[in-house]
Amino acid sequence: MRIVTCSHVAVKGAQQALRIIDNADLRHIAELTFTDKLKALVYQQSGVDDTMSSKESEALMVRRNYLRHQHAEIECHPFSWYLANVAMSAVVRPSEDADHFGKLRPASSGLCLGGAGSEMGIELVVCHEHLYEHQLLIEMTTRGTIVRAGSCLEPAGTAAVAFVPCEEGSPRQRWWLADGRLTPVTAPRKCLSDSPGHIGRNSHLAMLNDCASDSTSSQRWSFINF
């Protein structure tokens, strides 16, 4: 099934493009596009009379019939259908057990925990505080599990961390969050850290390092808005 903007397809397929050159054009577009309430507002703000000539009415009827034909042919759906069946299908919702939800970001670099990892750790990537980036969303449950798309974060060696399939009750997949520090239960002296990567000068990796005695920004994490 194709998702298309019905009005756009119909107008492009019409023999004459709709352009606002005079009052007749404005009435034509207003009648085809807006609800009665919005049409009244358009006419009021533009100062254009909504009275049509017989020629305008006839042209409008032709255009409406064309639009009906196009809508039936390409099986258009209303915008409410798109919101319910397409747009919301990509929305990541926190589970009922979620204690924290959002993009996980260290205070030092302003980057966010990404998905790609290596033997050294997980890459930190550019993110935006008020932009919905579903691929970066993470939740931390009340049990201390850090989850993304069905995978859980756990230590993977001396310093590396990785997202692996979740195992219910696994202590390796439980974390403490205190004063912004994320510490694995199985390695209480280690803290998740924003560390310089080795791929490039500006690359950063999420790794486990010894917890600093003071609250360093590279070991202080927060869940930010979409």
**Confidence at residue 122, expressed as pLDDT on a 0 to 100 scale:** 92
| pLDDT digits 0-9 by tens, 55-109 | 888 888 888 888 778 777 777 777 788 777 777 766 788 889 999 999 999 999 8
Please state the pTM of the whole predicted model: 0.61
Distance CA 129, CA 104 (A): 11
Could you report the per-residue pLDDT of 161-201, keeping only the tens digit for each?
A: 999 999 999 999 999 999 999 999 999 999 999 988 755 55
Instruction: Inform me whether the pLDDT recorded for 6 exceeds 80.
Output: no
Question: Which sequence spans correspond to the domains of the chain?
Answer: 6-87, 92-224
Which fold, 92-224? Trefoil (Acidic Fibroblast Growth Factor, subunit A) (2.80.10)
Inform me whether the pLDDT recorded for 204 exceeds 50. yes
Spatial neighbors of 123 by CB under 8 A, at least 6 apart, are 114, 115, 116, 117, 197, 203, 204, 205, 206
